[in-house]
């Protein structure tokens, strides 16, 4: 799998900069013939990371909050 940003699409090629390189790095730009591309996925990997992190934090926090409200079992409270 190849992750690119700063994508440019022409009639016969797709070009972009590898994701871990700066967008302005023209010497890093990769060109791929459109006939060689099997599939494309679009998205923002950074936003996906933060969505996952917030989900991992929010679910346990919600469970602890429900336990505190319903059973009066709150961590750190004696």
Higher per-residue confidence, 68 vs 73: 68
Same domain, 6 and 29: yes
Q: What is the pLDDT of residue 27?
A: 92
Count of domains for the chain:
2
Verify that 34 and 57 share a domain, yes or no. no
Q: What pTM value is reported for the model?
A: 0.55
55 and 71 assigned to the same domain: yes
Residues 72 and 37 in one domain: no
| pLDDT attached to residue 16 | 94
Q: Pseudo-torsion of CA 70, 73, 76, 78, nearest 10°? A: 120
Same domain for 70 and 51:
yes
Does residue 37 contact residue 13 with C-beta atoms inside 8 Å?
Answer: no
| Rounded-to-integer distance, Cα 6 and Cα 27, Å | 13
User: What are the pLDDT digits (tens) for 11-64?
Assistant: 999 999 998 899 899 899 999 999 999 888 887 777 778 888 888 999 988 988
Q: Tell me how crowded residue 16 is: count the other CB atoms within 10 A of its CB.
A: 20
Looking at residue 78, what is its pLDDT? 54
What is the domain extent for residue 59? 43-78
DSSP H stretches of helix in 1-78: 45-71
Assess whether 37 and 49 both reside in one domain. no
pLDDT, residue 39, reads 87
Contact 11, 19 (CB under 8 A): no
């Amino acid at each position: 799998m190849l992750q690119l940003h700063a994508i440019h699409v022409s009639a016969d090629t797709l070009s972009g900069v590898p994701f871990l390189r700066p967008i302005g790095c023209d010497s890093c730009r990769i060109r791929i013939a459109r006939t060689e591309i099997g599939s494309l996925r679009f998205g923002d990997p950074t936003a996906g990371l933060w969505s996952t992190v917030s989900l991992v934090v929010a679910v346990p926090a919600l469970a602890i909050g429900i336990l505190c409200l319903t059973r009066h079992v709150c961590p750190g409270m004696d």
